[in-house]
Structure 1
């Protein structure tokens, strides 16, 4: 009889992955530094000295994974935010991020001067582009979607970066309400339901962005350049193991002129710098992969486009300040190079951001 009961028992339902970064268990004097280190997975932040010294500094991230997309609620205090070319080269994220501010405000500058997000509106970030913003104390909700999921759905001639979507538009209201509802039911959804809702969420986001286009975009030229940059970045990523990868090699195989390549990658420090940083990032992730802890370092070097251990080790040490052979046995150093370690603070959202498209 007991056997039948056991056979009839249903397996526990898998819930939507949820990571909650909280500073509540961190010593007051260490809170700001830990927050700055953690959020560096996507932004450099800078708070004034009074904020850094306060014993009451707060920062909280509540993130959910819905299959290949991420929805996160963040609340913290007044800060400056920057996504620079060096960060983009380091993390390689190629995502759109749509934000709504539930409380607080954000400001930034563009060619027209200082701008402020209208209350109740949405703003779109292209994480493959640089940005500087400033916020006061706020709580916002961020929907993060890999660019590949939006390919073919968006009108490609328009640059989406820092587009402001006014709250009065019907499609904007639909997307805003959907984001809020999705977060509110996330703790009751199954993994299967989350995976099934992801395409609908992406479709709604694309429809909202397309419907909001009602006049010629003044940044159309920038949008075309961004599309070219995106294509070349994907080409480079697919060929990182090719030792001959260089400006000339890319120009021959990707149909882009040297002049164009230099212009597209100027903000990244040049094509060579971008290739080196992406190769070393790939090697870093391979070295800390627990499932490949016995993989020879020489194999990792080859897969990252290096033809010798010596050249790879020199480049890796110059970039990260540690030898490749030491990275596996020195967990404390992982924090220094931007990868979280396992401790009392849940920092999984950092890895999730970098692996949405995997």
Structure 2
């Protein structure tokens, strides 16, 4: 994933630099003293979209018909407010965003955006957006020409799913990025009015993003939470049957959780920092009942014991002088 950062600094010189960069897209006007102006952004291509994260002091963007005519941008933008506030207007349509709110914006229509600090007294607004081609978003919408400024409140399920997925895309590239962007477009369409022929896709997208959100939670808490069906159902407010259906293709919830814990064990065993750590401690940290249960499960998954992995990792470090990764250890086994 290619990434580009823009941090023109502060003050009037930064304002002039930003105006030069955005001249064909919009006009920019600070709402405070020019010498206090500040803005920074990061852009990254992801799947079939462009991810943009920005932080700025209070300012106004004005996208006029002239900008639209010369800019050649015919895209939709899905924007999540992470901090501060945003007031978006396009014709008679408007949306006011606070933290957690999501808005759909048609970039092919004239609009005005005002960014301000939040109710918490913060001086900046932080936004993260995914910009997708019209060919991705418009066919999913029942009324694409009147969908701009559609607001998805932060407390709603759609905004929570989209916020979770945008946060995941911010973390870096993924083989599933394209599918994630498509699923996000389906979720937005389902929330603001989808075309009849994509109603089934909305349901599939909902399942896709919920499953991705649960998987991220599992990966982040492999050694801190039990991750039982009861715990996950309570956290994600879903039935046990619904949770089990989500994980059918993974071989079941319990199998998925155990496989992720074993993958984490492999990464830890390959790291030099774990050289003197007892296997029983690693097993208990990863919620196995004991070291013998852990060793059996580990051997079934990787074809060798935790002790053998540790020995191979130490040999790799001696031979190459480089810290091995899990892939290095498993490739070494394949050559053996």
Q: Normalised by the size of structure 1, how large is the TM-score?
A: 0.48
Q: Aligned equivalents of 1:92 and 1:150: distance in 2?
A: 17
Give the length in aligned residue pairs: 188
- Quick one: which of 145, 159, 169 aligns to 1:172? 159
Distance 1:29 1:214 in 2: 43
- Please tell me whether the aligned partners of residues 79 and 134 of structure 1 are also in contact (alpha carbons under 8 angstroms): yes
Structure 1: distance between partners of 2:180 and 2:12: 40
Instruction: Please give the per-residue CA displacement for 1:249-283, whole angstroms capped at 9, x wherever unaligned.
Output: xxxxxxxxxxxxxxxxxxxxxxxxxxxxxxxxxxx
Q: How does 1:65-80 map to 2 (within 5 A)?
A: 65-80=45-60
Look up the match of 2:244: none
Change in Cα spacing, 1:69 to 1:108, as seen in structure 2 (3 Å) is: closer
| 1:159 aligned residue | 146
What SS does the corresponding residue of 1:40 show, helix, strand or coil? coil
Structure 1 alignment gaps of length 5 or more: 1-15, 216-358
Give the gaps of 5 or more residues in structure 2: 117-123, 195-336
CA–CA separation in structure 1 for the residues paired with 2:94 and 2:181: 30
CA distance in 1, matches of 2:42, 2:179: 22
Which of 116, 119, 125 is the aligned partner of 2:96?
Answer: 116
Q: 1:87 to 1:169 in 2, by over 3 A?
A: same
Flag the 1:34–1:111 CA change in 2: closer, same or farther, 3 A: closer
1:261 matched to which residue of 2?
none
Whose Rg is larger?
2
Give the direction of change, closer, same or farther, for the CA distance of 1:39–1:197 in structure 2 (3 Å limit): farther
Is contact 2:24–2:70 with CA below 8 Å preserved after alignment? no
Are the aligned partners of 2:86 and 2:96 in contact in 1 as well (CA < 8 Å)? Answer: yes
Match runs of 1:8-19 below 5 Å: 16-19=1-4
TM-score (norm 2): 0.50
Report deviation, 1:205.
Answer: 1.9
User: Aligned runs of 1:249-328 on 2, under 5 Å?
Assistant: none
Which residue of the other structure, out of 35, 38, 62, is the alignment partner of 2:18?
Answer: 35
**Structure 2 residue corresponding to 1:47, chosen from 8, 30, 36:** 30
SS class of match (2:33): helix
Relative contact order, higher structure (CA 8 A, sep 6+): 1
> Is 1:149–1:202's contact at 8 Å kept on the other side of the alignment?
no
CA positional deviation for 1:41: 4.1
Q: In 2 relative to 1, CA 73–152 (structure 1 residues): closer, same or farther, beyond 3 Å?
A: same
The CA distance in 1 between the partners of 2:186 and 2:94, in whole Å, is: 28
Change in 2 beyond 3 A, CA 1:42/1:111: closer
Give the 3-state SS of the residue equivalent to 1:152 in structure 2: helix
